[in-house]
């Protein structure tokens, strides 16, 4: 018998830390190898962590809600001798070096591999990452390392500096921030702190809602998108009366045959991916010194849960039929509802579709899913009076709203892309729109 320690796994290539959202075992429980022992939340996804051993849980080394770097121990398991054979023993020489404070090049191999969250936080606060010591695996610098450094600097400044708006403070009035200070204050508040490093004030009746890893990731990505990407926005309205009639004719038979509801969304996605093939620049990303037109058409689909928004990916959507897209949408929605998304489900998207019409929205200005170049919102289908052949008719109309990265895309190509999507949707019919 021996005691082995389970470590925080790396759930994704750029993931450097994780939060124990829920323990699925207790001290004294017996587990088999690959049994789930905890739910972990990262800035990418929620996932269950399987046990690396068969044995008995002897200690839970961290509490629910604790965030720790990849590679840090999370629990201890008493294992049989047979399981020990599958465990790599630690190099005594390496252990000796570490204990004496000496680390070889291999131990520091990850030091200069920075995650997007670390880079963004360092850039916003003008921090030289070369000067920091990483607490992550192989010396990697985590977001927590950067935040601790920022907190220490702010603490030093608050002790040594006299507020520039001292007169306003003496009068009991809040000081006025201007220019860059206003933006710095907004960034700090988005990170959960005020510009002075103090916690935001709460009053009687206020409820503190702890930030989950997913909510932190949403806040970070949205702030980065608005900070770095020059957004432009436009909209077209589309007459989808033929689509509504066609879908109503076949939806019952489709569900009986396929076991999946046929919503409007697969029709919209099919039209969008077809137009993306016609206008590949829409399926691009900004790379600093160049624009990369992506060969694969992987549709990121915004799917909401009770307390977060996930963006799983339909891979190679241009190769799928409407039926294939419908099944993919249904499977991803079920994974979100059941908290079963994997890192692979969230990786590799090239263009985002946001189905805001599902909750009645008729117009929106979506924020681009960084680092993509565009996001398109499909709004609610509503009946409206429109002019058709110089006569007023009641038609099923929908707005398509798109936000673009103006570094990559201009109004000319975006307008042509939307016109193509509109053309495809308005010409849907049993004769020219196969489901299979």
In sequence order, what are the beta bridge partners of 352?
A: 300, 375
What the block records as the tokens of 181 is 């200070």
- Which three-class secondary structure state does DSSP give residue 267? helix
Using the structure block, give the residue that is written with the tokens 């991803």: 332
Q: Is the pTM of this model over 0.75?
A: no
Compute the distance between CA of residue 223 and CA of residue 150 in angstroms, rounded to an integer: 18
Hey, which residues does 108 pair with through a beta bridge?
Answer: none
Domain annotation for the chain: domains and CATH numbers: 2-89 (2.40.50.100), 102-161+183-194+211-228 (4.10.320.10), 231-426 (3.30.559.10)
Across the chain, how many H-helices and E-strands are there? 11, 18
What is the C-alpha to C-alpha distance for residues 144 and 43, in angstroms, rounded to an integer? Answer: 13
- Candidates 365, 306, 379; CA nearest to 336 is 306
378/243 Cα distance (integer angstroms): 14
> CA-to-CA distance for 165 and 176, rounded, in angstroms?
8
Of 66, 289, 410, 431, which one is the catalytic site residue? Answer: 410
Q: Which segments in the chain show pLDDT lower than 70?
A: 12-14, 43-45, 81-117, 120, 136-138, 154-200, 213
Residue count (the chain): 436
Beta strands in 133-182 (DSSP E): none
Spatial distance between the Cα atoms of 119 and 353, rounded to a whole number of angstroms: 27
Give the DSSP H or E segment for 402. strand 391-405
297 Cβ contact list (under 8 Å, min separation 6): 273, 276, 277, 283, 316, 317, 318, 350, 351
| Strand, coil or helix: 398 | strand
- 3-class DSSP assignment, residue 377: strand
For residues 272 and 351, the answer to whether their CB atoms sit within 8 Å is yes
* DSSP code for 276: H
Tell me if residue 410 is catalytic: yes
Per the residue annotation, which of 227, 231, 347, 406 is the catalytic one?
A: 406
Take residue 285 and report the two structure tokens written for it: 């990303």
CA nearest to 221, candidates 406, 368, 14? 368
Token pair in block for residue 140: 């990697």
What's the CA dihedral at 42, 46, 52, 53 to 10 degrees? 130
Q: Please say whether the beta carbons of 407 and 386 come within 8 A.
A: no
Query: For residue 20, what are its two tokens?
Result: 């124990």
Residue 327 pLDDT: 96
Whole-number pLDDT of residue 42 = 74
Backbone angles phi, psi at 34, to 5 degrees: 80, 0
What is residue 351's DSSP assignment? E
pLDDT of amino acid 346? 85
What would the two tokens of residue 185 be? 């204050």
Which tokens hold the place of 66?
């604790």
Q: Is the distance from CB of 436 to CB of 406 less than 8 angstroms?
A: no
Instruction: Tell me the C-alpha distance between 329 and 313, whole Å.
Output: 9
- Phi, psi values for residue 258, rounded to 5°: -105, -15
Does the annotation count 231 as an active-site position? no
Which pLDDT score is estimated for 298?
97
């Amino acid at each position: 018998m021996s005691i082995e320690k389970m470590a925080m796994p790396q759930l994704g290539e750029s993931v450097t830390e994780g939060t124990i959202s829920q323990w699925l075992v207790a001290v004294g429980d017996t587990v088999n190898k690959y049994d789930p022992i905890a739910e972990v939340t990262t800035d990418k996804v929620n996932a269950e962590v399987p046990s690396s051993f068969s044995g008995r849980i002897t200690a839970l080394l961290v509490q629910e809600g604790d965030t720790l770097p990849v590679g840090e121990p999370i629990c201890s398991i008493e294992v049989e001798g047979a399981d020990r054979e599958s465990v790599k023993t630690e190099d005594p020489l390496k252990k000796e070096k570490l204990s004496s404070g000496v680390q070889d090049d291999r131990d520091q191999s990850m030091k200069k591999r920075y995650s997007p969250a670390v880079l963004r936080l360092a850039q916003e606060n003008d921090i030289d990452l070369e000067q920091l010591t990483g607490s992550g695996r192989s010396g990697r610098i985590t977001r927590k390392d950067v935040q601790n450094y920022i907190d220490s600097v702010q603490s030093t400044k608050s002790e040594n500096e006299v507020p520039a708006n001292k007169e306003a403070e003496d009068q009991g009035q809040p000081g006025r921030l201007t220019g860059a200070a206003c933006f710095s204050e907004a960034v700090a508040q988005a990170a959960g702190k005020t510009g002075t490093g103090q916690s935001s004030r709460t009053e009687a009746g206020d409820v503190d809602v702890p930030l989950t890893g997913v909510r932190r990731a949403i806040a970070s990505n949205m702030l980065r998108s608005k900070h770095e990407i020059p957004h432009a926005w436009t909209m077209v309205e589309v007459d989808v009366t033929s689509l509504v009639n066609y879908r109503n004719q076949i939806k019952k038979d489709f569900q009986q045959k396929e076991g999946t509801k046929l919503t409007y969304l697969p029709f919209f996605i099919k039209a969008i991916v077809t137009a993306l093939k016609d206008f590949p620049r829409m399926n691009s990303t900004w790379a600093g010194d160049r624009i990369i037109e992506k060969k694969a058409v992987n549709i990121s689909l915004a799917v909401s849960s009770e307390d977060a928004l996930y963006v799983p990916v339909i891979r190679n959507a241009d190769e799928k039929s409407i039926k294939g897209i419908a099944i993919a949408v249904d499977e991803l929605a079920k994974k979100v509802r059941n908290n079963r998304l994997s890192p692979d489900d969230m990786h590799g998207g090239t263009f985002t579709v946001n189905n805001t019409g599902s909750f009645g929205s008729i117009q929106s200005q979506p924020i681009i899913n960084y680092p993509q170049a565009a996001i398109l919102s499909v709004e609610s289908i509503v009946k409206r009076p429109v002019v058709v052949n110089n006569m007023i008719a009641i038609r099923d109309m929908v707005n398509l709203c798109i936000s673009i990265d103006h570094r990559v895309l201009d109004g000319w190509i975006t307008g042509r892309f939307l016109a193509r999507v509109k053309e495809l949707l308005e010409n849907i019919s049993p004769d020219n729109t196969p489901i299979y």
